Structure 1
Amino acid sequence: MDFKIHNKSDKPYNIVHTENSVIEKCIELEKELPHFMDDFFIYLKNGIALSSRYAYLQDVLFFCKYLVKETNHTNAEDTISISREDFNKLKAKDINRFLGDYCTRYIIRSETSTVVMENHNRALARKKSSIAVLFKFLYRDEIMDNNITDGFNPIRLPKPQPDAIKRLEIDEVARMLDAVETGIGLTDKEMIYWEKTKLRDKAILILFVTYGLRLKELQQLNLSSFNFSRGDFKIYRKRGKEVNMPLNKSVEKVIMEYIEKERAEDSQILEQHKDALFLSLQKTRMTQRAIRQLVKKYTAIALGTTKDNGYSPHKLRATAATSLIQNGFSIYDVQNLLDHDNVTTTQLYAAHKKDSKRQIVKQFEWLEE
């Protein structure tokens, strides 16, 4: 069947297509879950971000499979057959056993392999959040008689420490950009590809360290996202927020050099990829995986380590935040630029500014010992 999307919104086709793919996955998950959750599906559809909706449904289905396969809380033979009465009999202790015992380590067996799955506190906390949202909704919707979520055991997460934030220092950013400009540090095989993609790779890295873009935000960029005469470009952030970002001279220069000197001609590109800004050597939109590997490769050179230990795009987001604060921009300006929901997230990067002040003062002594 030929699947087409009739897009009446202002969003580019590639973003609408990606979102619709996730929506289809959500619908498939919902088909496996009990019908008494139908109103919960509507709540997720209209109340939270699409990516969160998909994650919540995955967690809820995982819990329902656990009820069917691992417990005597239901006589249902499949997840869709679980009854509201089965759910109404559940106690907080049943959820605590699921999270604290089963989820920490379980086994997935198939005809060809046995895989041991382990979840640490961060993953457990996400599952707890998904289950809690479900049970609170079912209580509010009068499907469950009691709100059992108050009895869920706490899951302790380590408090984020500024010193634990991984990011590149200014001299490491310089080494990274030097590597992409000269090819220094690349293997002979990597040099072959570098000759064909160095302007593209440089533009990607500059965008990351200038704006602290999320990987998805950069991967979705189109030629039509940029308005060079007005000096800005458009990105789509979490929860569908549409934002115009100002261009500076450095970014405009590297983008234009890539488009004019390296990017394939329109006649060589398939119709669905013609608007994509960053193309692979196959002349298709670069995948998130390919961009992640590119970043790990160049950051590994900057750090003097193996490619496996190179940094992810999110570490370049942290690099941008820290660098902006070290250059005197307020945490509120940086919060706005990076789209942090809470300023306390930005304050973690601000703590590095205190460290830099301490280093300056220690190295600037007026009195000799």
Structure 2
Amino acid sequence: MEKRIIKVHNKSDKPDNIVQKENEIIEKCITIENNLPTFMKDFFIYLRNGVALSTRFAYLQDIFFFCKYLISQTNISKAVNTKDISLEEFNCIKAKDINRFLGDYCTRYTINEKNSIIIMENHNRSLARKKSSLTVLFKFLFRDELISENITDGLNPIRLPKPQPDAIKKLEIDEVAKMLDIVETGNGLTKKELVYWEKTKLRDKAILVLFVTYGLRLKELQQLNVSSFNFGRGDFKIYRKRGKEVNMPLNKSVEKVILDYIQLERVSDEQVPEKHKDALFLSLQKTRMTEKSIRQLVKKYSSLALGTTKENGYSPHKLRATAATSLIQNGFSIYDVQNLLDHDNVTTTQLYAAHKKNVKREIVNKFEWLEEYDKKNSPI
């Protein structure tokens, strides 16, 4: 059967490409919901209105996985399909059953395919997310008096490693300069890469400069449109997590690389398919670049700056860390950087502040008790 094209009638201020992408995730959510028990219907409404779309999708995936586990690995449910699990069976689930699911089954399980067996492993970060999904579900069912007991108090804790500043991977300022020099000159690229570089060097430079200036998330950059930029007012619009609309100011460096790309390298709109006409960053196929292709681009140039293999090059998220630490090293406050990068909690930004090089040495050198070493008291 031929796949139908889904068109979205967009009445919001959001660009069509973002609305279309969100709709694709919504369709996936609806597909999962149609395969889950009907007594969860009110929970689906709660997710739809109460959490971010990406969180809703992640929760539904985890709950669907748990329901499949109930059928295939336990005696709790006699259902053949996940949709047929009854509320009475869910009422029989105890905290120990979820603890076994998380602590025993999820840590290592197998998937049988036609000619192979895939061994799946989940570490504590993945287990904590699954625990969070189930906790939200069971608390909701208890609150709505669908189950008789709040079993979430009996769930085992999952210890997550505390993030350490020294573990933050980022480019140093000289490595950023080297990366931008490589994208400008092509030094270090193979003959095959140089062929593509000649056609995309201005695009690639614009992408890298945007990442290291604003610390944009990959999704935020990939969704950018030509119409996102207002050069007269000196700003551009991005859509952050939970659909937040934000205007970002342009500096001269960013304005130059964007205009150079648009005016000197990007193909004219007449050559671009209707769906992709407004997309800022285009592939050689004249379609909007995918998140995967942008990630590969960043890994390629960052690996050359680091002097390592492409596999060990840095991801866009590490360029986000690069932007944060560079701004802090240049004297901006953690609250200013928090605002620019859209961190929910300032403690996240503080990690980058703690990563400032030689910070201990700078502190003690500026805090001398003996007068002969105290620069504050030295004659001018």
C-alpha deviations, 1:251-297, integer Å up to 9, x for none? Answer: 00000000000000111101110100000000000000000000000
Matches within 5 A, 1:325-344: 325-344=328-347
Return the offset for 1:112: 2.4
- Three-state SS of the structure 2 residue aligned to 1:302 is helix
- The residue type paired with residue 281 of structure 2 is F
Identify which of 36, 40, 45 aligns with 1:42.
Answer: 45
Distance in 1, matches of 2:320 and 2:85, equals 43
Answer yes or no: is the 8 Å Cα contact 1:209–1:319 preserved in 2: yes
Return the offset for 1:309: 0.2
Q: Which residue pairs with 2:215 in the alignment?
A: 212
Q: Which residue pairs with 1:247 in the alignment?
A: 250
Distance in 2, matches of 1:172 and 1:64, equals 48
Q: Which residue pairs with 2:358 in the alignment?
A: 356
The count of aligned residue pairs is: 366
Q: Which residue pairs with 1:71 in the alignment?
A: 74
Q: Which residue pairs with 1:302 in the alignment?
A: 305
Distance in 2, matches of 1:361 and 1:239, equals 39
- The residue type paired with residue 282 of structure 1 is Q
C-alpha deviations, 1:330-355, integer Å up to 9, x for none? Answer: 111100000000000000001023x3
Identify which of 308, 318, 322 aligns with 2:321.
Answer: 318
Return the offset for 1:101: 0.1
Return the offset for 1:207: 0.2
Distance in 2, matches of 1:339 and 1:2, equals 35
Unaligned 5+ segments in structure 2 are: 374-380
- The residue type paired with residue 100 of structure 1 is G
Q: Which residue pairs with 2:348 in the alignment?
A: 345
Answer yes or no: is the 8 Å Cα contact 1:326–1:352 preserved in 2: no
Change in 2 beyond 3 A, CA 1:175/1:144: same
Return the offset for 1:2: 3.9
Return the offset for 1:362: 8.6
Identify which of 155, 159, 168 aligns with 1:156.
Answer: 159
Answer yes or no: is the 8 Å Cα contact 1:325–1:350 preserved in 2: yes
Aligned sequence identity (%): 75
Return the offset for 1:358: 3.5
Task: Answer yes or no: is 1:182 the counterpart of 2:185.
Answer: yes
Using structure 1 for the length normalisation, give the TM-score: 0.97
Answer yes or no: is the 8 Å Cα contact 2:32–2:60 preserved in 1: yes
Q: Which residue pairs with 1:257 in the alignment?
A: 260
Distance in 2, matches of 1:15 and 1:318, equals 25
Change in 2 beyond 3 A, CA 1:361/1:97: closer
- Three-state SS of the structure 2 residue aligned to 1:3 is coil
Return the offset for 1:357: 3.1
C-alpha deviations, 1:128-185, integer Å up to 9, x for none? Answer: 0001000000000111101000100000000000000101110111111111011111
Return the offset for 1:42: 0.3
Q: Which residue pairs with 2:64 in the alignment?
A: 61
Return the offset for 1:110: 1.8
Distance in 1, matches of 2:341 and 2:115, equals 45
- Three-state SS of the structure 2 residue aligned to 1:243 is strand
Answer yes or no: is the 8 Å Cα contact 2:168–2:355 preserved in 1: no
Distance in 2, matches of 1:19 and 1:243, equals 18
Using structure 2 for the length normalisation, give the TM-score: 0.94
Answer yes or no: is the 8 Å Cα contact 1:136–1:147 preserved in 2: yes
